[in-house]
Amino acid sequence: MKSYLISVFAAVFLLSCQDKPSKQYKPVSLGAINTLAVVMDNDLWEGAVGDKVREHFAAPVLGLTWDEPLLNLEHMPGSVFRGTTRHRRAVLFVDLDTVSGAQIQEDLYASPQKVAVIKGKSEAELIASIESASEQIISSFKAMELKESQTRFLRSLSKETVLSEKFGVSMRLPSLYSVGKEEDGFVWIDREIQKGSMNIIVYEMPGNSFESDSTFVQDILHMRDSIGKKYIPGPDVPGKVTYMGTEKAFAPYVFPAEVAGKKAVEVRGIWEVVNYPMAGPFLTYIINDKERNRKLVLEGFTFAPATNKRDYMFELEAIMKTVSFQ
């Protein structure tokens, strides 16, 4: 194990000292989206250090209907990390060493690839390094996985022009998606999956929307419920009105964001069908488009009963983040 990690640390050091990036050919990286190869000694993996890795890198994704990990972790000892196994796209090395710290390198063995190395002189220092560096490393892995997903979309893109015609924006939309509903100021795009559907809706709000900090979250929920009631009906139920609203039992997560170079708000939560037992996750971006004096709203939501939804929502996020303003 030590000899493999020493060679990795040496390679990382040499790469960091180069004035110019290497032009050496690198094979195409391998691996499913959101899968991380964790290379570390079995004793570390089975103990407190492994627990800390799992705590951060396999933490539950926010805004899903049940717990699913940020990344699927595939542990392997250093003796296994050779040949094409080194071509994994996302790699995390963790091991005891004479120094402590963390570093991320790109395209060490393949391309695209991110290799994160976490070192410590003791298990306590390893745990401290994981605590301090995990957020940055996870962010780096996620950015790579989003870019990889967006690159894969290029294999077959939709020729739909409705978003350009209605909103003056374009989006890298896979050809599996098609326009399901188009009305004044509202577009609903979806694709069928094995047990349901993946959906993207796009609409506009006035430029002066959401100006009150004290009612900001309530205004977002009111917006979603109003749009759902107007455009997204639920199943027919005698004597009841059904439509997509926001699950009231779970407060949504709201974060500042940037989309297409514009300030935005990211909202993650659970949608429900009012007056009907149906629910799922949603991800909303409210983009401040000052040039057009509007808030452009992009929302992705998944309907897939009794099915894991992390990867579906990740695809929707990757699509929405390709939006560009004309």
Domain ranges of the chain: 2-153, 162-325
Q: Is the pLDDT of residue 55 over 50?
A: yes
- Show contacts of 175-184: CB within 8 Å, 24+ apart: 177/319, 181/231, 183/231
pLDDT confidence of residue 72: 98
Torsion of CA 309, 163, 267, 70, to 10 degrees: 30
Q: Which residues of 258-284 are buried (b: 16+ CB within 10 A; e: fewer)?
A: ebbebebbbbbbbbbbbebebbbbbbb
Among residues of the chain, what percentage have pLDDT more than 90? 90
pLDDT confidence of residue 23: 58
Return phi, psi of residue 142, to 5°: -65, -45
Give the separation between CA 204 and CA 281, rounded to whole angstroms. 21
324: number of Cβ within 10 Å: 11
* Average of per-residue pLDDT across 302-310: 96
pLDDT confidence of residue 92: 98
Look at the alpha carbons of 215, 221, 224, 230 in this order and tell me if their dihedral is positive or negative: negative
Give the separation between CA 289 and CA 294, rounded to whole angstroms. 5
CATH number belonging to the domain at 2-153, selected among 1.10.1740, 2.60.40, 3.30.379, 1.20.1180 = 3.30.379
Kindly report which listed range (22-26, 146-150, 268-272, 273-277) carries the lowest average pLDDT score.
22-26
Give the separation between CA 243 and CA 247, rounded to whole angstroms. 12
Give the separation between CA 27 and CA 62, rounded to whole angstroms. 34
- The closest alpha carbon to 145, from 318, 324, 270, belongs to 318
Kindly report which listed range (20-34, 219-233, 263-277, 301-315) carries the lowest average pLDDT score.
20-34
Which one-letter DSSP state was computed for residue 296? E
| Residue 269's pLDDT band (cuts 50, 70, 90) | very high
Does domain 162-325 sit in CATH 3.40.1000.10? Answer: yes
Q: Are 299 and 264 in contact (CB under 8 A)?
A: no
Token readout for 49 is 């250090």
Q: Which residue has the tokens 């393949």?
A: 110
Token readout for 105 is 């390198």
Same fold, 2-153 and 162-325: no
Q: Are 287 and 294 in contact (CB under 8 A)?
A: no
Give the separation between CA 242 and CA 257, rounded to whole angstroms. 32
